[in-house]
Structure 1
């Protein structure tokens, strides 16, 4: 498994963010009984950069906390459980890993939301990574029933890594 973490901002996090990201990614894979080795990219940025991406890709001219860019579009496969059919197309031949996708997290938003919700920045980072991983697996929260599934799965992941509410 390869988790690339890039920090593209001067904003700082005063804790071991790489350890939290790794733990949550691994637990997300375990919670989904995901058997493939994966490659995922995590980019830590600021509000200005994430706002540009949010506008470009979602048509929303505002900063957001996290953006997820699955390599395998859920409209392409319908459900991550049918992934085996698509591995040859989305497979890094050098590393023998499935290219899962990219997540982009605004450190500024992470800090704002941690304060707003009254929990630690560590917990907020864990939540954003779990949330994004579920999007990379093909989950969404547009419909109320989808949102309940995502909340349940997020809570399970966060409980298992020690960042429950």
Structure 2
């Protein structure tokens, strides 16, 4: 598993966020039983930077907490049966599956942790996990889809003992 973490904004979280990010990514991969070695990119940005990215890529002119850019298309969420049919799903140098990119707003992590009354670590872990589920094809556009994602998020965070 390769996790590349880049910082456009120094997080100053006060905990080992790099290790926690890798733990959450690995837990999501294991929970979903993803059958390949993986590559995930995590970019930590400011409020202004995520606002700009959200506007450019989603035509939404406001900041958000996390953005997910999946590299693999799935027939249905969590269905990994056809990944090998497209060689572009894999890094030719390492053979790792290119899951995609996570762009996380440092300012939103802190703001939402305070707003929701839990730790910064918990919010950071939650947002990365949420984004990982998007990288596996899950979404929350309908009530049914949202229920599936919320259940998975809850189960994985409980399994990791990352509680509210």
| TM-score past 0.5 threshold | yes
TM-fit CA distance, 1:87 = 4.5
Instruction: Decide whether aligned partners of structure 1 residues 87 and 16 sit closer, same or farther in structure 2, where only a CA change above 3 A counts.
Output: farther
C-alpha distance in structure 2 between counterparts of 1:39 and 1:83, whole Å: 18
Measure how far apart 1:11 and its partner are.
Answer: 4.0
In structure 1, the gaps of 5 or more residues are none
Residue 96 of structure 1 is matched in structure 2 by 95
Within 5 Å, give how 1:79-94 maps onto structure 2: 79-81=77-79, 82-94=81-93
Report what 2:147 is aligned to.
Answer: 148
Equivalence for 1:129: 128
| Pairwise CA distance, 1:156 | 1.1
Q: Name structure 2 gaps, 5 residues minimum.
A: none
1:36–1:97 CA contact under 8 A, matched in 2: yes
Give, in angstroms, the shift of residue 35 of structure 1: 1.3
TM-score, scaled relative to structure 1? 0.94
Q: Tell me how far apart the structure 1 counterparts of residues 148 and 45 of structure 2 sit (CA, whole Å).
A: 28
| Contact kept? 1:87, 1:98, Cα under 8 Å | no
State the Cα distance separating 1:161 from its structure 2 match: 1.5
SS at match of 2:87: coil
Cα separation, 2, equivalents of 1:112 and 1:14:
15
TM-score (norm 2): 0.94
Secondary structure in 2 matching 1:123:
helix
Consecutive aligned runs of 4 or more in structure 1 exceeding 4 Å deviation: none
The aligned length equals: 163
2: distance between equivalents of 1:128 and 1:83? 27
> CA, structure 1 residues 33+10, in 2 after alignment: closer, same or farther (shift >3 Å)?
closer
